[in-house]
Chains A and B, each alone.
Chain A
C-alpha cells in the first residue's frame, strides 16, 4: 500500500507505511456529519459552544466539524487552536514546533468546550489539554470529539463523540487526513 512521509514529531518521525484503509474520504465526511448532529443534540443547540482543535492533527477535525455545524445550525461556533506541548508529561521527548500555534481569542468562562482531536490513544494529550484549557478560564463543561478512538487508554478519559472505534495493536500508527484514515506502521 501507500508509503508517505508522515509529519510526525520525534521520536516517532519516519516514513509511514499504510497497511489498511479504515475510512475513506466519504466515510470521514459522514462521520463528521454525524458527530456534528450529536454535538447539537447533546448541547441543545450551539449556545456557548466553543470548538478547540488540538495542534496539529485536531485542527483539521475542528475545522471540518465547524463547517458541518454551521450547515446544520446556520451559525458557526467560535473556534480556537491549542498546542499542549508545554503541558505534556513527556516533555523533552518531542520538540515544540513554532508552527503549532495556540490561538484562543474567545472567553472560556462558562463556555461548553468541545476539544477536537484526530486520534484518541493513551489519553495523555487530552489530560494536558484539560490542564491547559483551565489556564484560559473556567469552562462550564468540556467534551471530547475524536475521529478515531484506537483504545489503549492509560488515563481515565473517554470521548463524547467518536468518528470510528478502531481496535489496534499498540505498535501500530493511525494516520488521519481528509483523504481517509489509514492503519499502518512507521519505518525509521
Chain B
C-alpha cells in the first residue's frame, strides 16, 4: 500500500477546480447517509482516524469524529490539554507515537501555520489539515462551498463578501481560494488592521464600507471577532467594530432577500452578528455545521476507501 501516493488534504491551494468539484459531488452521497434512520455505513471498517488537536476546537473535532464513526472507522483523539507536549515532547515525537498506534489518517489542528504540512513529511499516514494557524482550513472551505452550492445551485458568478478579521483567519484564506476557483467574486470587508499585510496575488477586492457592499451581495460571510484583537491594538474597541462591521438587523435589511448569511462558528452574537440576524431565514449557519460532517465523510472516504488511488496505480502498471 505504500506505493500509493500521498493524498493528504493540506490546503485548498494546490487543489484544482475539478478536485473540489469531485469532493462536492461525492458529498451528496454522504449527506444522504446522514439522513438515514441508522446513519452509518461500514465503508471504513478497520481504519483508524486520529484527531490531533494541538489547539482546542471541540466543534471541528466532533465533526471529524462523527464523520469517521458514520463510516465505521475507529477514532483516536489526542488533545493538547492532556498531552505530553508540555513535558517537552516535540510535535514529531507525538506524531510518531500516534502512528505507532496504527492511525491511517491524522486530522491535525495546530495553532501555527504549516504544521499539517510538516507532519505530512514525517508520517506514512495521510494527513488532513483541520486548521493550521492563520494559514488554511480546507474542509471548512469545502463545506462552505458545498453549502453555497446547495442553496444557490452554483458558485459561478456569486458575489461574496468575507467580513471581519481576515488577517488572522485560516477560514478566509481557504474560502477565498475555493470560492474564486468555483467562479465566485470575493470582496474582503475589514478595517486595514484586520486585512493581511499584503494582498498581492489574491484574487479579491477590498472594502472598508460594509454598508456600501451589503446590497450588492449574494453571500455575506462573517468571521468570528476575537477579543485578543482589541488587546493587540488592532481595533479601538468592540463597540466600534460592532458599529462599523457588525451585521445587525438594520444592515441585514439592505442585504438582498435571496442572499445567504454564513459564519464558520462559533458565533459571537451581538458582535459580528446580531442574534436576530443569526436566526434570519437567510442564515445558513446551521446548514454549514451539518454539511461539515458530510464533507468530512467524503474527504475521509476519498483518502481511505475510495479506490481512486488503486485505479491510478493500476493505470500506472498498465503503462509499464
**A interface, CB within 8 angstroms of B:** 10-11, 83, 85-87, 91-96, 98, 100-103, 131-132, 134-137, 188
Question: Could you write out 10 A-B pairs with CB less than 8 Å apart?
Answer: A10-B314, A85-B43, A93-B310, A94-B307, A95-B308, A98-B29, A101-B32, A102-B32, A135-B40, A136-B36
Contact between B26 and A135 (Cβ–Cβ < 8 Å)? Answer: no
Contact between B311 and A86 (Cβ–Cβ < 8 Å)? Answer: no
Can you name the residue of chain A whose Cβ is closest to the Cβ of B70? Answer: A86
Known: A10-B311, A10-B314, A11-B311. Is A96-B29 also a contact (CB below 8 A)? yes
Question: Could you mark each residue 183-219 of chain B with 1 if its beta carbon is under 8 Å from any beta carbon of chain A, else 0?
Answer: 0000000000000000000000000000000000000
**B interface, CB within 8 angstroms of A:** 25-26, 28-29, 32-33, 36-38, 40-43, 71, 301, 305-308, 310-311, 314, 318
- Selected contact of B307 from candidates A10, A98, A100, A135, CB within 8 Å: A10
Contact between A98 and B41 (Cβ–Cβ < 8 Å)? Answer: no
Can you name the residue of chain B whose Cβ is closest to the Cβ of A137? Answer: B37
Contact between A93 and B307 (Cβ–Cβ < 8 Å)? Answer: yes
Contact between B26 and A96 (Cβ–Cβ < 8 Å)? Answer: yes
Contacts of B311 in A (CB 8 A): 10-11, 95
Contacts of A132 in B (CB 8 A): 41
Known: A10-B314, A86-B43, A98-B26. Is A92-B307 also a contact (CB below 8 A)? yes
Can you name the residue of chain A whose Cβ is closest to the Cβ of B308? Answer: A95
Contacts of B25 in A (CB 8 A): 98
Contact between A87 and B42 (Cβ–Cβ < 8 Å)? Answer: yes
Contact between A91 and B307 (Cβ–Cβ < 8 Å)? Answer: yes
Contacts of B33 in A (CB 8 A): 86, 102
Can you name the residue of chain A whose Cβ is closest to the Cβ of B33? Answer: A86
Contact between A95 and B29 (Cβ–Cβ < 8 Å)? Answer: no
Contact between A96 and B38 (Cβ–Cβ < 8 Å)? Answer: no
- Selected contact of B42 from candidates A92, A101, A131, A136, CB within 8 Å: A131
- Selected contact of A91 from candidates B29, B37, B43, B314, CB within 8 Å: B43
What is the minimal beta-carbon distance from B49 to any residue of chain A, in angstroms?
A: 16
Contact between B28 and A98 (Cβ–Cβ < 8 Å)? Answer: yes
Can you name the residue of chain B whose Cβ is closest to the Cβ of A134? Answer: B38
What is the minimal beta-carbon distance from B31 to any residue of chain A, in angstroms?
A: 10
- Selected contact of B314 from candidates A11, A92, A98, CB within 8 Å: A11
Contact between A95 and B307 (Cβ–Cβ < 8 Å)? Answer: yes
Contacts of A102 in B (CB 8 A): 29, 32-33
- Selected contact of A95 from candidates B28, B71, B306, CB within 8 Å: B306
Can you name the residue of chain B whose Cβ is closest to the Cβ of A90? Answer: B307
Can you name the residue of chain B whose Cβ is closest to the Cβ of A104? Answer: B36
Contacts of B38 in A (CB 8 A): 134-136
Contact between B305 and A135 (Cβ–Cβ < 8 Å)? Answer: no
Contact between B42 and A86 (Cβ–Cβ < 8 Å)? Answer: yes
Can you name the residue of chain A whose Cβ is closest to the Cβ of B301? Answer: A96
Contact between A136 and B37 (Cβ–Cβ < 8 Å)? Answer: yes
- Selected contact of A87 from candidates B29, B37, B41, B314, CB within 8 Å: B41
Known: A94-B307, A96-B301. Is A86-B41 also a contact (CB below 8 A)? yes
Contact between B36 and A92 (Cβ–Cβ < 8 Å)? Answer: no
Cα A52 to Cα B318 with chains together (Å): 37
Cα A103 to Cα B28 with chains together (Å): 11
**Residue with the highest number of chain B CB atoms closer than 10 Å, among A96, A100, A102, A134:** A96
Contact between A91 and B32 (Cβ–Cβ < 8 Å)? Answer: no
Cα A188 to Cα B318 with chains together (Å): 10
Known: A86-B42, A96-B29, A98-B28. Is A135-B37 also a contact (CB below 8 A)? yes
What is the minimal beta-carbon distance from B39 to any residue of chain A, in angstroms?
A: 8
Query: 9 closest A-B pairs (Cβ-Cβ)?
Result: A86-B41, A98-B25, A135-B38, A86-B43, A92-B307, A10-B311, A95-B307, A102-B32, A98-B26
Contacts of B318 in A (CB 8 A): 188
Can you name the residue of chain A whose Cβ is closest to the Cβ of B27? Answer: A98
What is the minimal beta-carbon distance from A49 to any residue of chain B, in angstroms?
A: 20
**Residue with the highest number of chain B CB atoms closer than 10 Å, among A83, A98, A103, A137:** A98
Cα A10 to Cα B318 with chains together (Å): 14
Contact between B36 and A96 (Cβ–Cβ < 8 Å)? Answer: no
Contacts of A87 in B (CB 8 A): 41-43
Contacts of B29 in A (CB 8 A): 83, 86, 96, 98, 100-102
